Amino acid sequence: MDLSLYHLVREPKIKLDKNPLLLLLHGYGSNEEDLFGFAGQLPDEYLVISARAPYSLPPYGNAWYAIDFDADMNKFTDNVQAAESRDLIAKFIDEVLGAYPVDAANVTLLGFSQGTILSYAVALTYPEKVSRVVALSGYLNMDIIENINSRDISNLSFFISHGVVDQVIPVEWARKAPEYLKAKGIPVEYHEYPVGHGVAPQNFNDLVNWLNKQS
């Protein structure tokens, strides 16, 4: 069966009737192989799927939406494309549930950078489709989150982490997300690490420990 997004699959090492799903969403200019590189170290019971973003960036790499710059090098997000990718990921989750024996009540999104921004948007716009989010080096873009006040988001939980010397997305942007989510009564585990725009080994260990505590 052809699904909407090209993807890589790591079968669960522990087969259940319905396995939990861990969907990996890469950052701007990367591809599905980036986060999939550590799929083998993720908890054994998960079906791990790493999706490729829909917009190609020559000469290589992909993006979930365009980022444009003006003459003063200010960045602008294409929120129309971002919202389309949010909806595409939500549709893709439904397709995965139809194509693989996964537990619809146990879906985790793991994003990095732009993939994190989309993970927030999918989880908070479609909380019925997602249980947990691992948000690495991203931030909350409220412009692409819809109807949050009319949704039941009480089932969600978040692991959020960021590098304190991140030159791409300032840590101050990242810190707003746990404050916002906690104010909504959502459980959040938040960490900062002495790194830039990347995932430190301790960061990876902490997110795996968090995943293991959720199951």
CA–CA separation, 46 and 9 (whole Å): 11
CA–CA separation, 87 and 36 (whole Å): 22
Other beta carbons less than 10 A from residue 65's beta carbon: 23
pLDDT of residue 98: 95
Consecutive 10-residue averages of pLDDT for the chain (215 residues) = 90 93 96 94 95 91 84 74 96 96 96 97 96 97 89 93 95 96 95 95 96 86
Q: What is the CATH number of domain 7-214?
A: 3.40.50.1820
- For residue 60, what are the contacts with CB-CB under 8 A and spacing of at least 6? 31
Domain range list for the chain: 7-214
SS3 16: coil
| Residue carrying structure tokens 């030159």 | 167
Q: pTM (2 decimals)? A: 0.95
pLDDT of residue 74: 67
pLDDT of residue 191: 97
| Residue carrying structure tokens 């980036």 | 34
